[in-house]
Amino acid sequence: MDIEKIRKDFPILTRKIKGNDLIYFDNAATSQTPIQVINKISEYYSKYNSNIHRGVHFLSQEATSEYELVREKIKNHFNIAKKKEVIFTSGTTHGINLIASGYSNILQKGDEIIVSNLEHHSNIVPLQMLAEKTSSILKVIPMNLSGDLDLKAYKKLLNNKTKLVFVNHVSNSLGTINPIKEIIKEAHIHDAKVLIDGAQSAPHIKTDLIDLNADFYVTSAHKLCGPTGIGFLYGKEVLLNELPPYQGGGEMISEVTFEKTSYADLPHKFEAGTPNISGVIAFGAALDYLNGIGLKEIENYENELLKYATKKLKEVNGLRIFGEAKNKISVISFNIESIHPYDLGSILDKMGIAVRTGQHCAQPVMDFYQIPGTVRVSFSFYNTKKEIDFLILAINKAIKMLS
Amino acid sequence: MNSISKIQKELVEEFSFFEDWMQRYEHMIDLGKSLPLIKEKYKTDDNIIKGCQSKVWMHAELEETKLIFTADSDAIITKGIIAILIRVFSKQHPDEILNADTKFIDQIGLKEHLSPTRANGLVSMIKQIKMYALAYKTQIN
């Protein structure tokens, strides 16, 4: 991997922030966009902007085939059995809500839903709403100090009332890679359906949905070098067919009269209205870009960054890392003794380093450690060890200022 | 007694001596250390200002016709920001507080803290101070 060459693909990396070179360590929040993806958006609007699936004209056909080609690309990239099992969404949160809302017609009083302590709020709140609507019960897989889920406890939570299990592949606040294959296998013993939130894992780990045997999977393009406002939901055909449509509108129907409307087949049943066409097409370009580098190469390099940064950070006086699971991606959450994460984040910002501070939309994780929040650095394949060295310098400078 | 605009002018002058952000921040952190601290009994959830990533407690009470503010925060930069606000707005008449503008924040180089994404609640703090002024104004009248 030629990092210097890769960095040239990202125009934003040449920006100066308050006189310093931008160091972007907030990749878990959103990844940066390579020029190939930016150009694709521009190409769409300059060459074949038109509404898809309806027009008989040339542009509409061109846009439709570009759009549908991306469904194919997603199917191949994530190893999905059928193209129609790929539903475009506005992102991970939309996908989770679509499934949670669909199950509000299926779950019954006393049924059980399992989530984990490591979830992002977007994988908690829709399920709380579902539980409230259906009088079902929400149960939580506990975590331990290292930031791993307690699988023994998970197995005990499962029973024949368990209908749904929603877990993330990777924790956004700590970086823990959860053993989802095992989680899915255990759930299936009890005939529970599993949704995997892949928002944090898809950019870092090659995901094979047939091998995992996940029932549902959701992720967002903007974590994968793609644009914001687009993502996809995968669901097994038979399960998606059981769910009612999420939104009504054009595109999702086969016949409409005032007496009765019949719905279109998958995937269109869940894609009401004009979709984010440019977003989908650019998402395809992002997948091409990542595959051009190679997910395995990306994973190896990011692991190297993780190891290097973990070692360097641990040398900083008073620094404590939260989440030291054996399997984790290049995310490090930490605090420095008697310094508020917000203070440290503000000073790092002044030196051009973008980090995330606070609860990371995962308040239960912060509550578990009894802390107000952390500073989170998250690396991507375009980051360098040199940037990590500068981070360490900046942290030490900040400590001097703040103590 | 100094008027709000006079204190604001002093602050702008004081901050203009610093050459870079680091000195400005160091000064702000020093100011935070001299913040008139809120009494423990007022450090309640009711007195927490919402919209801050760090916790901010603020209390106001009337002394004759002037409002006295005390506060605290768990973050040191936030403490500095409140110290600046208290220096400007404490011991002032509610009417003066309500009429005051906050352009000085920009002038002392803290503009970025006014951005909604900062979530440090500077905007919420100012709003809270003005709310107190409005509430106590009716008591005086």
| In a shared domain, residues A115 and A174 | yes
Task: Identify the band that residue B118 occupies on the pLDDT scale cut at 50, 70 and 90.
Answer: low
Contacts of B100 (CB under 8 A, 6+ apart): B4, B5, B8, B88, B89, B92
According to the model, what pLDDT value does residue A260 have? 85
| CATH number of the domain where residue A271 is located | 3.40.640.10
Same domain for A258 and A116: yes
CB A373 within 8 A of CB A14: no
> Do A402 and B76 lie within an 8 Å CB cutoff?
yes
Question: In terms of CA atoms, which chain A residue is nearest residue B73?
Answer: A340
Cβ distance A401 to B120 less than 8 Å, yes or no, reads no
- Closest A-chain CA to B79: A343
Q: Mark whether A286 and A372 lie in a shared domain.
A: no
Q: Spelled out in words, what is the top-level CATH class assigned to the domain B4-140?
A: alpha beta
Given A41, A137, A354, A361, which residue is catalytic?
A: A361
Helix (H) or strand (E) holding B60: strand B56-63
* pLDDT for res A365: 94
Can you read off the two tokens belonging to residue A390? 């500068």
Distance separating alpha carbons of residues A28 and A346, to the nearest angstrom: 18
Interval B13-38 mean pLDDT: 90
Domain boundary among A242, A261, A292: A292
Best mutation target, A20, A342, A370, to test chain B (most B CBs within 10 A):
A342
**Residue A186 Cα distances to A159, A182, A301, B110, angstroms:** 10, 6, 32, 54
Confidence bin at B116 (pLDDT 50/70/90): low
Per-residue model confidence (pLDDT) at position B122: 81
- Tokens 């406890």 correspond to what residue? A153
Final residue of a structural domain among A292, A315, A349: A292
Residues A269 and A333 in one domain: no
Same domain, A168 and A180: yes
Q: Which residue has the tokens 């100090």?
A: A145
Cβ neighbours of B21 in A, within 8 Å = 18, 350
- pLDDT at position B130: 94
Q: Are residues A146 and A262 in the same domain?
A: yes
Q: Kindly state whether residues A251 and A363 are assigned to the same domain.
A: no
Neighbours of A98 (CB within 10 A): 24
Is the pLDDT at B117 greater than 80, yes or no?
no
Say yes or no to pLDDT of B120 above 60: no
pLDDT, tens digit, 9 for 90 and up, residues A299-350: 999 999 999 999 999 999 999 999 999 999 999 999 999 999 999 999 999 9
Same domain, A133 and A162: yes
* pLDDT value at residue A252: 86
Q: Which residue positions in chain A have pLDDT lower than 70?
A: none
Bridge-based pairing state of the strands A162-168 and A112-116: parallel
Each residue's pLDDT tens digit, B62-79 = 999 999 999 999 999 889
Q: What angle do CA B50, B56, B59 make, to 5 degrees?
A: 100
A96 and A166 in contact (C-beta within 8 Å)?
yes
In this predicted structure, what is the pLDDT of residue B19? 85
On whether both A206 and A137 belong to a single domain, the answer is: yes
Chain B closest CA to A212's CA: distance in Å?
Answer: 38
Helices marked H in A151-273 — which ranges?
151-157, 180-189, 209-212, 237-242
CA distance B110 to A8: 33
Q: Do A401 and B55 touch (CB under 8 A)?
A: no
CB-based contact A11:A36 (threshold 8 Å): no
Comparing A189-198, B28-37, B102-111, the range with the smallest average pLDDT is B102-111
Contact residues on chain A for B120, CB-CB shorter than 8 A: 342, 346
Q: Is the peptide bond before A11 cis (omega within 30 degrees of 0)?
A: no
Locate A80 and state its tokens.
């999905």
Lowest mean pLDDT among A174-188, B47-61, B74-88: B47-61
Of A292, A320, A336, the domain-final residue: A292
Strands A162-168 vs A193-197: parallel, antiparallel or unpaired: parallel
State the smallest CA–CA distance between residue B9 and chain A in angstroms. Answer: 25
What mean pLDDT value characterizes chain B? 88
Q: How many domains does chain A divide into?
A: 2
pLDDT at B90: 95
Catalytic residues of B: 52
Distance in angstroms (rounded) separating the CA atoms of residues A80 and B123: 48
Nearest to B76 among A18, A340, A357 (CB): A340
Query: What's the CATH code of the domain at A368?
Result: 3.90.1150.10
Identify whether the C-beta of residue A92 lies closer than 8 Å to the C-beta of residue A197.
Answer: yes
Q: For this complex, say whether ipTM is above 0.90.
A: no
The answer on A159 and A201 residing in a single domain is: yes
User: For chain A, percent helix, then strand, then coil, each to nearest 5?
Assistant: 45, 20, 35
CA angle A90, A114, A174 (to 5 degrees): 65
Q: How far is A90 from chain B (nearest CA, A)?
A: 22
pLDDT of B111 higher than 80: no
For an interface test with A, the pick among B33, B72, B76, B117 (most A C-beta atoms closer than 10 Å) comes out as: B76
Closest residue on chain B to A339 (Cα)? B75
Q: Euclidean distance between the first and final Cα of chain B, in Å?
A: 21
For chain B, the structural domain boundaries read: 4-140
